[in-house]
Structure 1
Amino acid sequence: MLKIVIDATPISPQPSGVGLHVANLIHSLSALQSQENFQLGLAYQPGFKNWLLGRLEFPDYLSQYSNLYMLPIPVRISNILLDKFPSFFPLYLEPSLDYPDIFHGTNYNVYPYKKSMKVMNLYDLTFIKYPQYINSVVMKYSKYVKKCLQWTDLILTASESSKTDIINYLRVEPDRIRVTPLASRYHPNYLPTEVTEKLQSYARYDFSQPYILFVSTIEPRKNLNALIQAFNNLKAKYKIPHHLILIGQKGWRYKSIFAAIENSSWRSQIHHLDYLSDELVALFYSKADVFVYPSHYEGFGLPVLEAMTLGAPVVTSNTSCLPEVAGDAALLIDPNDPIHLANAILKVISDSQLRNELIQKGKARAKLFSWDKTAQETLNAYKSLL
């Protein structure tokens, strides 16, 4: 029986980004085991503080799975070992995994095990293409990724756009890369009416006020300064009644974003709601007049798909993978042109026919993606190595 071990370390109690992808992939892959005749195991590395305190325990959210393998060093230490002593991994860690056929590193690295085929996820190449948008942790990715490419058998990425970047910037042969698209964490009927009514009482917002929505980490690559500028323009020139809602945890280099909010004449109508539960985020998607995602660069752009799934019309950038994900179901804008962005938002919120057309196209587009499909494509990629 084929034995596969996936690195589950990126998953957290409040997953986003990579963690969300890994959590959904594992859930869907696990359901395929008996049907496809393979065994799925999960590797986990403790956080640095827990490691110092000797707490080498699996988190509760992994307890539903069997075949758990503890790698008893934190990522901070394994990164040093990866750089200085790569032989440490096959000698001391590979035996603790019981020598799987395939080991899948899910967060921009994979360890140099000798008896396993090695798969590595590269979601995007922000750290190479746009170093001005990253933090000190991500800045080190380039070094580790290039090191890991020496022993990686297969790279998984989420879009054809990212595959092209990997080929061009990392000089990887095309046949060593497989595209496994992501999917929404939601389904069209995620929020029944009775649940929606209950959630509204928990939300810190008056839903009688129409709003423009953004969902993602608050950081420079997401281009929120342009969105705030576009919002200011719409308020000043067209007196739109809308508020602007930004949902997402603070990431890095976000001071200029909050300065732009503070300096806005309409700052009382700009709301940062930080991290919310999946249910509350879904509520905000479902009631938005328009979802706007003006990012400079993405590996996939999952919020675009989530918004479409839950019936929000989408305005997004014409760069990187976003046209590939959105298809003809969104209005595409130049992220470097706030006026172009403002005009696209105005079109959607002032033209009910266009808005309804985008909603219907978005729902149809979102149905082309699912985590079951992602899991099957990932499994097919694994089997291509055998």
Structure 2
Amino acid sequence: MNIVFFAHPSFLGHQSMPRFAQMLADGMRARGHEVAIWAPEAKFSRLPAPRSLKKWLGYLDQYLVFPSAVRRRLRQYPASTLFSFTDQALGPWVPLLSGRPRVVHCHDFLAQRSMLGEIPENPPGWTGQQYQAYIRRGYAEGQHFISVSQRTQEDLHRFLPTTPRRSDVVYNGLNQSFAPQDVATVRAQLGQQVGLDLGTGYLLHVGGNHFYKNRVGVIELYNAWRATGAAALPLLLVGEAPNESLAAAHAQSPYRQDIHLLSGLADQHVRAAYAGASVFLFPSLAEGFGWPIAEAMASGCPVITTNEAPMTEVAGEAGFLIPRRPSASAEVVAWAKAGAQVVAQVLQLSVAERQAVVAAGLQNAKRFSTDEALDKIEEIYSEIIATSY
């Protein structure tokens, strides 16, 4: 097959979506297919301008300059070429391929749901509503879709005006090699790397500052657990440098000396953090998939996550579940106290009980194989080409 992948421009600074696009491209190339990646280049967006204007200059590159380039390039590609959009947020480009075989990968519809007021923690502004409507009109012209979870597929079908010709679910595969390691060794090595004594264990969260990651909620859970008089295990929040709300929650915590905000860790240190953690906290408000759940389980770490899809899809029967953090501030204290009881439950597991939990997590994580995901995607791509003529 000849496959062209549409990807987000590098000047946006995204991480997960470019990795996903590269995984698809590398996987299909390794399977013998001709592959190209198309993405907007920085032209207007590289001009000197105030930061407030950079986003709008980026839109010119994405929705004015790039479509013209796509139309020119199309003449060089045979009619049998498959065009794969690596994220439904690239929807505005889908109509450019009218009449060509095309497929849209769908990750999450959180922005689209926010547009309808379904996520109270993320109220959209007028311009955001217009932008999301623009994206929706674009991907709605697609006919073939691949979603990363059942929840994402359900949202897709709600947002499409008609039933798609084809809609599949293919779970993400782990894009690194996660595995259990000797706990004492990795705790010592990680502790040396970050300048902390981690020998007795620690609680862990891995994630960015997107509102739905609920990093403030992680600190609230930790505060409630520590208030029970529990052992003073530290909390590590690994990911982006803290934003204003996270920094404020950290500063206001009575246990702030034991809460460590770690950014810029290399991949091998993140893998070590998973393998050495006493428990992994992932109380997301919403997700498209929830990679860290599978990553932690594959590393031999017990996981506490939210009792809603798709977190429940990824955790399977191997995770410990807590309710979603309430949007009403008056209910948050009770939520944190209830979640703290689950944290205590996991940390008080006997050796045999913990071994059983770890074994269940390792077995569950086997569902998320990159090779198997790529094999399934290749099969879908081939069938789309075969049925397009």
Q: Same fold (TM over 0.5)?
A: yes
The one-letter code sitting in structure 2 at the alignment partner of 1:109 is L
The one-letter code sitting in structure 2 at the alignment partner of 1:206 is D
Q: C-alpha distance in 1, partners of 2:249/2:206? A: 18
- Within a 5 Å distance, the mapping from 1:252-331 to structure 2 comes to 254-331=243-320
Corresponding position of 2:328? none
Corresponding position of 1:59? none
2:107 maps to 1:118: no
Corresponding position of 1:94? 74
Candidates 145, 153, 156, aligned match of 2:146: 156
**Is the Cα–Cα contact under 8 Å of residues 5 and 100 in structure 1 kept in the other structure?**
no
Instruction: Please report how far the alpha carbon of residue 80 of structure 1 lies from its aligned counterpart in structure 2 after TM superposition.
Output: 3.4
**Is the Cα–Cα contact under 8 Å of residues 7 and 90 in structure 2 kept in the other structure?**
no
Corresponding position of 1:207? 198
Corresponding position of 1:332? 321
Corresponding position of 2:330? none
Structure 1: segments with no counterpart, 5+ residues: 54-73
Structure 2: segments with no counterpart, 5+ residues: 49-56, 116-120, 326-334
Q: C-alpha distance in 2, partners of 1:286/1:77? A: 44
- Within a 5 Å distance, the mapping from 1:18-97 to structure 2 comes to 18-33=17-32, 38-48=33-43, 52=47, 76-81=59-64, 88=68, 91-95=71-75
**Is the Cα–Cα contact under 8 Å of residues 144 and 164 in structure 2 kept in the other structure?**
no
Instruction: Please report how far the alpha carbon of residue 10 of structure 1 lies from its aligned counterpart in structure 2 after TM superposition.
Output: 5.5
The one-letter code sitting in structure 1 at the alignment partner of 2:42 is G
The residue matched to 2:251 in structure 1 has which SS?
helix
**Is the Cα–Cα contact under 8 Å of residues 106 and 145 in structure 2 kept in the other structure?**
yes
The one-letter code sitting in structure 1 at the alignment partner of 2:83 is F
The one-letter code sitting in structure 2 at the alignment partner of 1:212 is L
Percent of aligned pairs with the same residue?
23
The residue matched to 1:384 in structure 2 has which SS?
helix
Deviates more, 1:364-373 or 1:335-344: 335-344
Corresponding position of 2:380? 381
Deviates more, 1:195-204 or 1:300-309: 195-204
User: Relative to structure 1, is the Cα distance of residues 203 and 176 closer, same or farther in structure 2, using a 3 angstrom cutoff?
Assistant: same
- Within a 5 Å distance, the mapping from 1:107-256 to structure 2 comes to 107=87, 108-110=89-91, 111=93, 112-114=96-98, 116-130=100-114, 132-133=121-122, 142-173=132-163, 175-189=165-179, 196=186, 201-250=192-241, 254-256=243-245
Instruction: Please report how far the alpha carbon of residue 279 of structure 1 lies from its aligned counterpart in structure 2 after TM superposition.
Output: 0.5
The one-letter code sitting in structure 2 at the alignment partner of 1:167 is H
What root-mean-square deviation, in Å, do the aligned CA atoms of Structure 1 and Structure 2 show?
3.2
TM-score, L = length of structure 1: 0.81
**Is the Cα–Cα contact under 8 Å of residues 205 and 237 in structure 2 kept in the other structure?**
yes
Q: C-alpha distance in 2, partners of 1:206/1:216? A: 22
Corresponding position of 2:118? none
Deviations 1:80-109 (A, max 9, x none): 339xx96x4663342366766111121322
Q: C-alpha distance in 1, partners of 2:364/2:349? A: 21
Q: C-alpha distance in 2, partners of 1:180/1:13? A: 26
Instruction: Please report how far the alpha carbon of residue 354 of structure 1 lies from its aligned counterpart in structure 2 after TM superposition.
Output: 3.4
Deviates more, 1:263-272 or 1:237-246: 237-246
**Is the Cα–Cα contact under 8 Å of residues 3 and 34 in structure 2 kept in the other structure?**
yes
TM-score, L = length of structure 2: 0.81
- Within a 5 Å distance, the mapping from 1:349-364 to structure 2 comes to 349-352=347-350, 353-364=352-363
Q: C-alpha distance in 1, partners of 2:319/2:256? A: 27
**Is the Cα–Cα contact under 8 Å of residues 3 and 40 in structure 1 kept in the other structure?**
yes
Number of equivalent positions:
356
